[in-house]
Amino acid sequence: MEIKRSGSSPSQNGDKEYFTGSVRIELINEPPAPSRLTVALVPFDPGSRTVWHSHPFGQTLIITAGAGWVQSENYPKQPIFVGDMIYVKLGERHWHGASKDSSLSHLAIQEKLFEATVEGMEPVSEDQYQ
């Protein structure tokens, strides 16, 4: 058994290849192989968001603070709030992030495929975000 105390995991800035705006990533859990599961707390500043992306095994998001948006390709963007849970299917192209007027934090739960948890694509345009 391993206990990680709140705030004990180092955080890092979100890579500009995968995010627009100011985003932090705190890796909460990454157990050793054969587990492929990763869990991260991801706080977004207002207006910050991911690029379009997909995950090899899907992703579960649990909104822990603030308000924002999520959109899957070919569907309108949807508002998200504290307590909402979003499941994104494997390979589903999508983006998510904070609203213009609110920060957003979520737990991101996904599995790795050969060390990769995400395939980044192009940034979300201002028209798509608005």
**What integer pLDDT is reported at residue 61 of this predicted model?**
98
**What integer pLDDT is reported at residue 1 of this predicted model?**
87
**What integer pLDDT is reported at residue 97 of this predicted model?**
98
If one counts every other C-beta atom within 10 angstroms of the C-beta of residue 23, the result is 22
Instruction: Kindly list the structural domains of the chain, giving each domain's residue range(s) and its CATH number in brackets, ordered by start.
Output: 11-125 (2.60.120.10)
Phi-psi region of 105 (alpha: psi -120 to 50; beta: other; left: phi over 0): beta
**What integer pLDDT is reported at residue 86 of this predicted model?**
98
Residue 32: pLDDT band with limits 50, 70, 90:
confident
DSSP state of 129: H
User: Is the pTM here over 0.95, yes or no?
Assistant: no
Cα–chain-centroid distance for residue 116?
Answer: 14
